[in-house]
Amino acid sequence: MKLRDWDQLPQDMQNDAVRVYYDILQSKRRYLVIKRLFDVAASASLLVLLSPLFAVTAIAIRIESPGPFMYRQTRKTAYEQDFRIHKFRSMYIGSDRGRLLTMKNDSRVTRVGAFIRKYKIDELGQLIDVLRGDMTFVGVRPQVQKYVNHYTDEMKATFLLPAGITSLASIYYRNENDLLLGHKDPEKLYLTEILPDKMNYNLLGIRKLGLGYELKIFLMTILTVFGKDYKPAKQLYTTAFMPEEPEEEQSSEQVKEPAEVTNG
């Protein structure tokens, strides 16, 4: 993958916060070439090796619910460019016309969809996007424009590289749906708490970019698929992540009169 010249970046990315990360990647230009060569070789090989699994998954999806087996949605990748992501469809057709966030036990998810989401099989379609250059194996998960609109100047540094299939943020937030469940305003929770925290890990990924770091993310991802639950060294979850409980109304019998105060 080729790092563009600074003056060729989108205008809103030409800011001081992005410049810090741009200079870091400038020093890693050689690794970026190796990273792209690996993406092409690995994605092409996996598409061939996993073709039987692709066929079985596609048939299962079509048997359970009508419609295409592949879900396509416009997301953002390097330099804020649009691309249409490939994912095996895990929901009923038209489910994305409402809310974009998926909740735990979401009724829009099919039975086959629940299975392929659990084992991340739905993400394998993105091997096509990696081969085409729209994505990379390790990188920031691609967002829709709605959430990109909330990026700070520093967050826009993540657009210096293609979107990714896996990342440290996606590993730590594997159970993101559980955090959103039970809140009156999950959208607000995502924008004010979850998204900023995930972006901190994504920006860390740019600073630590290298063979050792990416191999570690690969290994963590594989172990996560098989049930290992990783937590950040410093847990950044706050009380905002605790589901809100309805307030109980007190009966007249439960209301106590204030104690009489006497001066001693």
Section 24-51 average pLDDT: 97
Confidence band of 152 (pLDDT split at 50, 70, 90): very high
Q: Look at 93 and 63; give whichever has higher pLDDT.
A: 63
Domain for residue 263, yes or no? Answer: no
Domain for residue 243, yes or no? Answer: no
Domain for residue 86, yes or no? Answer: yes
156-191 as b/e: b if 16+ CB within 10 A: bbbbbbbbbbbbbbbbbbbebbebbeebeebeebbe
224-260: pLDDT as tens digits: 988 898 876 544 444 444 444 444 444 444 434 333 3
Closest CA to 112 of 137, 89, 83, 78: 89
Confidence (pTM): 0.83
Range of the domain at 185: 6-237
Which tokens go with 61?
């999806």
Percent of the chain predicted with pLDDT > 70: 83
Q: Look at 264 and 103; give whichever has higher pLDDT.
A: 103
pLDDT above 90 (res 13)? yes
pLDDT above 90 (res 84)? yes
Q: Are 131 and 43 in contact (CB under 8 A)?
A: yes
Predicted local confidence at residue 233, as pLDDT: 52
Predicted local confidence at residue 100, as pLDDT: 59
Domain for residue 198, yes or no? Answer: yes
CA distance 237 to 193: 8
Predicted local confidence at residue 20, as pLDDT: 98
Domain for residue 256, yes or no? Answer: no
Domain for residue 251, yes or no? Answer: no
DSSP letters of 21-39? HHHHHHTTHHHHHHHHHHH
Predicted local confidence at residue 75, as pLDDT: 97
Section 44-61 average pLDDT: 97
Domain for residue 170, yes or no? Answer: yes
Closest CA to 240 of 199, 200, 196, 189: 189
Domain for residue 245, yes or no? Answer: no
The number of folded domains in the chain is 1
Report the relative pairing of strands 135-138 and 163-166 from DSSP bridges: parallel
